[in-house]
Each structure stands twice: as C-alpha cells, then as structure tokens.
A and B are shown apart, each in its own frame.
Chain A
Amino acid sequence: MIELTRVSKEYPRRGAALRDISFQVGKGEFAFLTGHSGSGKSTTLRLIHMSEKPSRGRIRVAGYDSERISPREIWKVRRRVGFVFQDFRLLPGRTALENVAFALEVTGTPGKLIVPKAQRLLSQVGLAPKAGALVNELSGGEQQRVAVARALANEPVILLADEPTGNLDERATKGIVDLFFQLNAMGMAVLMATHDLELMRRRSHARVLELDEGRLVFDSANPDDSGPDSPTGRAS
C-alpha cells in the first residue's frame, strides 16, 4: 500500500527534514506516526500524498511510484488516498453536505448521484442529522467528521491523518479515533500522525512508527531494527 525506500527530503536553507527513511504500511494496516514537533511527521505524510517529491529515494503508494508519476497524474493518487488535517480545512459558509458534495462534484461524480452519495458518506461518519448545518457552526469533532466524509468521497484505500485530534477534546478525540478504527476494520489502511502518547497506549495493538529529527528511530513491526539512539517516550 505505502512503501518508502530510503527517502530523504531537504528544504533549501532548512537542511534535512527526513533522512533515509524506509518503511511499509500494508493493506488494511493501522499505523501511528509519532515523534517530537519538527521530527518530520507532516513532511512524511505530504510526500506520501505526493504534494512534494522526495529529494532522494522512492515512494510507492497504491500502485503509483513517485519516480514515474507525472505531475498531470497526481490526481489519481489523491483519489486513492484520503487526507485529513488538524485544522479540518473545510470550506466555510457552506453546509456539511455541500462540503462533501464539493469533493464529489469536482472529481466528476455524475450530478444526480452527488447529493445521495454525500448523504451516505455523512451517515457513515455519524453526521447525517447535521448535514444541513453550516460547518462553521459545528463543533470541532463534528467538523473533523465532515473532513473524514470528504476524504472518503472517492473510496480511497488509504487514509492519511495529520494530528487529526490535535484540536479536539478527549471525547471528540475518542470519537474520531474510533471512527478511524472502524474504517480500518472495513479494510482501509490508516496512517495517523500524532504525539498523543495516551491515545497510542490505549490502542496498543496498532503499529507505531517514531521519527526523531527526520530519522525513523522506532518501528513496532521490527523493534530490534531501531537505530542506536533508541526512542525514549514511545508507546508500547
């Protein structure tokens, strides 16, 4: 599903954000991506979503290869890989339904199917009763559900989430993470960046990948293989 092979990313004048990272996330797997602030979590997710190219190494996602794909084909990756963010990134001034419908419309869903499909997606994330509410009048947890419904619009096989619970209280966090596990149980691979240790501890069966200063320092799938400067505050 997701395969990073010796991936490095450097930003001009900022030095290395990622250094020689390799890991795989399989079909239907759930993985947490953790690490201190600035360790490279968001960068990793952006590279997987092919918003940026790695400086070195190769990334394969849902059958697409970062070395072969042309910029004109990136949309294909985006339809296979949903993405949600800490700050939701919804279109304000529109309803929950309109936000989901927008994603369906701009990716070529036939007109008649848009509204029924948007309604179905909203009920999948438990938000059917709020379909007609303006998103800026929804709670954080509800807004994040709208964002998840939108990410599911094109029936992706992978869901990327960049600190999706960062702006949510404990209850809303639990609701969103439950939703992710529910989607995962239906076969979707999930890669979720977080530094909520408590959360990872409670889901201890999930895979954990830890970054530190752009290096992969721990992978719960091969705990022995971690670097010499082994992790300190990880969940296990």
Chain B
Amino acid sequence: MSYALREALAAFRRAPVLTGLASAMVGMALYVVGLFGLVAYNLQTSLALLEERVEVVAYLRDDVRTEEIELAVAELREIPEVRGVEYVSKDRALEDARAEFPDFQQVFADLEVNPLPASLEVELQAGSRTEENVDRIAQVASAFPFVEEVTYGEEWVDRLFTLRRIGALTALIVGTAFAVVAALIIGTALRIAIFARRDEIYIMRLVGAKDAFVRRPFLLEGALAGLLGGALALALTWLTFRGVDSFLFTIAWIPAAWAGAGVAVAVVFGVAASSLAVRRHLREVT
C-alpha cells in the first residue's frame, strides 16, 4: 500500500470521531443537496409534463369553410417552432368532452345543438415552448378572420418558468451554504490531523520529501471523507425517497447519473477543501 493511502487510513483510525464527524458533515451537506436533487428532479418531470400541454388553441367560428381551415393549417405549419397542427371538429370536441367528463353524460345527451366550437390545436416543438414563441404563434392564429378566440394558458407558461427559476436559486443558495460549512469542518479536521503529524511533517521536509508528497495523505484523507460523506448523503436521500414514496405520494428516484455525479462531486469537494486547508495549515508547521 502506498505511504499516502496508509497514512490517510491511519488518520481515520487515529481519530475516528473527528474524521467521522467530518464525513458526517459532508454527508449532511450533500444530503440537503440530494433532497433538492430529488425535489428538482420530480419537479422537472412534472414541469415537463405540464410543458407538454403548453399549446395554442384557436377556436373557429361556426361558418368557417374547409379550404380556409386547410390554408390556416398550412400557414401555421410553416412556423419552425410548430411541431404539428390538429383540426378538431365540432363533433370531435363534443366526443372529447363526453369522454373527459363522464359525470355530465346526461347534460351532453340532452343537447339539441352542439355548443362547442371547432378548433385548431397547435403543438410546439419540445425546445421551443417559451413565452415569446407562444405569444407569436397566438398572434399569427388570431390574425385569421375566422378565428374567434385564441387561448394558450399564458399564466401557466409564466408560472412554470418562475417556479423553475426559484427552485434553482434556492438550491444554489442552500447548497452553497452547506458546502461552505462542510469545507470549514474538513479544514478543521485536517488542521488537527496536520497538527497531530507535525513532527513527521517536519522530518519529511528536513530529509527532502517533496511538498506534493507531504500533502498527498491529507488530500487523500479529504477524498475519503468526501467519498464517505457522498455515500452517506446518497443513503439518506434514498431512505427519504423510500419513505415519501411509500407513505406520502409517488415520486421518482433521481437518475443514476445524478447519484454518481453527486458522489463524484463529494470526492472532488473533499480534495478541494483539503487542498485549501493543507496549503494554509502546512505553513503553520515548520
């Protein structure tokens, strides 16, 4: 086993409480990030579903002629952000309404005339569901003289994007705060580890060990603390997921790539935090 790995493991054995605490803190910090990941992922999936439904619907007057409809469909299809345009006749609108509201069967059956208008449902390309595009397409549609009204759930579009922005910002702020706390604890743990080994560090420098060699066990210790913390955070996040999924409501587990990235971030974070701490505290021992 290499000197650095042996020493890093020895540091864990020598001060299990302290290094355990450092790992636990990294774990707690990343657990919060993990929770946000879980929420963000599920929010994103729901948002994507909602987004799917962002479409522009143009209701047509009853006296519209077929050629006019065909012309309008063709023109709307020309717009690059448009994925498809579907014509829904008055009859189909009624059928759909019946299917969607079975409780009102009787009401629909009693109707003498069909009160529902025909419509054109304009679906947008997956990446183009932005406020501007939706607005523009709605304008094009309402410009046709035979279009009575255009709806496109504008408030939904706005809310959707605001929600996502708030979510991202909150995750960023809370995640950063916890990361700073974790870095401070890693720094303290390493400072104590360096202090405990100051005689050895002194001898290493005296006899000509390279600086990188002196630092390596501490960086490795940081990486190990990060790895343990990342694993702990993952376990806690999974337990939370299981709990919510079994007892509250159905949610989805984050993709494996996210989990893997989270642990990798934990390791990199451990190395980076210890690198900063080691640089600073090695100067204190001479």
Contact = CB atoms under 8 A, between A and B. Distances in A.
B166 interface: no
B203 A78 contact: no
Interface string A90-120: 0100000000001101111000000000000
Given A78-B208, A79-B208, A106 B213 contact: yes
B200 A76 contact: no
A105 B213 CA distance: 11
Most chain B CB within a 10 A radius of its CB, from A75, A79, A102, A108: A75
B199 A78 contact: no
B200 A153 contact: no
Given A72-B211, A106-B3, A108-B213, A83 B199 contact: no
Contact of B210 (A75, A83, A102, A154): A75
A119 B233 CA distance: 48
Contacts of A151: 207
A150 interface: yes
Most chain B CB within a 10 A radius of its CB, from A74, A78, A103, A106: A106
Contact of B203 (A72, A77, A103): A103
A174 interface: no
Interface string B265-277: 0000000000000
A51 B206 CA distance: 9
B203 A102 contact: yes
Contacts of A106: 3, 203-204, 207, 209, 213-214
B2 to A, nearest CB: 9
Contact of A107 (B199, B200, B207): B207
Most chain A CB within a 10 A radius of its CB, from B207, B213, B214, B286: B207
Nearest to B209: A106
Given A91-B200, A102-B200, A105-B3, A75 B206 contact: no
Interface residues of B, number: 16
B205 interface: yes
A201 interface: no
A72 B215 CA distance: 13
Nearest to A51: B286
Nearest to B214: A106
Interface in A61-94: 72, 74-79, 83, 89, 91
B202 A103 contact: no
Nearest to A83: B206
Contacts of A74: 205
Chain A contact patch, size range: 20 to 34
Nearest to B201: A106
Interface string B242-265: 000000000000000000000000
B200 A154 contact: no
Contacts of A108: 210, 213
A153 B211 contact: no
Contacts of A72: 211
Nearest to A100: B207
Contacts of B205: 74-75, 78
Contacts of B202: 89
Contacts of B210: 75, 108
Contacts of B204: 106
24 contacts: A51-B286, A74-B205, A75-B208, A75-B211, A78-B205, A78-B206, A78-B207, A78-B208, A79-B207, A79-B208, A89-B203, A102-B200, A103-B203, A103-B207, A106-B3, A106-B203, A106-B207, A106-B213, A106-B214, A107-B209, A108-B213, A151-B207, A153-B207, A154-B208
Interface of A: 51, 72, 74-79, 83, 89, 91, 102-103, 105-108, 150-151, 153-154
Q: Which 7 A-B pairs have the closest CB atoms?
A: A78-B208, A79-B208, A106-B209, A103-B207, A75-B208, A106-B204, A75-B210
Interface of B: 3, 199-200, 202-211, 213-214, 286
